[in-house]
């Protein structure tokens, strides 16, 4: 990022994802993702927290789904969740192209009860909002 800062806001040609999406998500994230890496990416490209990929997913949506491969441990995920919401609180009520809120994805992916509780605290009543599947 020091030599090519524009890389932090670049998107891939297939899914429209930024490096922040990849760091938060299940497609490319890994167990070495830290709060420091996420903060570095946000500092380098502040608008990346608001960028929706081609599926309408924000980095928060990706964080909610990455449990599939256990690539971000739960303690790190909780810290990243807090940081993402501090930088874009509106993400919590954003639907992806399938009508899923972050809480829907977290439940589908069996995120921890504590993780889901934090999402609900950030958007009270979201657990009662139906997605397109009901």
Residue 36 predicted with pLDDT over 80: yes
Whole-number Å distance between alpha carbons of 71 and 8? 21
Residue-wise pLDDT for 1-28, tens only, equals 777 778 888 888 888 999 999 899 854 4
What is the three-state SS of the chain? CCCCHHHHHCCCCCCCCCHHHHHHCCCCCCCCCCHHHHHHHHHHCHHHHHCCCCCCCCHHHHHHHHHHHCCCCHHHHHHHHHHHHHHCHHHHHCCCCCCCCHHHHHHHCCCCHHHHHHHHHHCCCHHHCCCCCC
Cα–Cα–Cα angle for 38, 119, 85, rounded to 5 degrees: 35
**Can you give the pTM of this predicted structure?**
0.89
pLDDT at 27: 43
Instruction: Check whether 116 has a pLDDT greater than 60.
Output: yes
């Amino acid at each position: 990022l020091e030599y090519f800062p524009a890389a932090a806001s670049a998107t891939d040609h297939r899914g429209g994802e930024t490096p922040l999406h990849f760091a938060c998500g299940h497609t490319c994230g890994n167990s070495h993702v830290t709060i420091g890496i996420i903060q570095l990416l946000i500092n380098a490209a502040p608008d990346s927290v608001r960028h929706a990929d081609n599926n309408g997913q924000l980095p928060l949506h990706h964080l909610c789904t990455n449990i599939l491969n256990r690539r971000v441990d739960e303690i790190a995920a909780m810290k990243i969740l807090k940081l993402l919401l501090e930088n874009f609180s509106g993400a919590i009520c954003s639907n992806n192209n399938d009508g899923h809120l972050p809480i829907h994805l977290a439940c589908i992916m069996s995120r921890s009860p504590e993780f889901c509780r934090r999402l609900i605290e950030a958007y009270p009543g979201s657990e009662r909002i139906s997605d397109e599947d009901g």
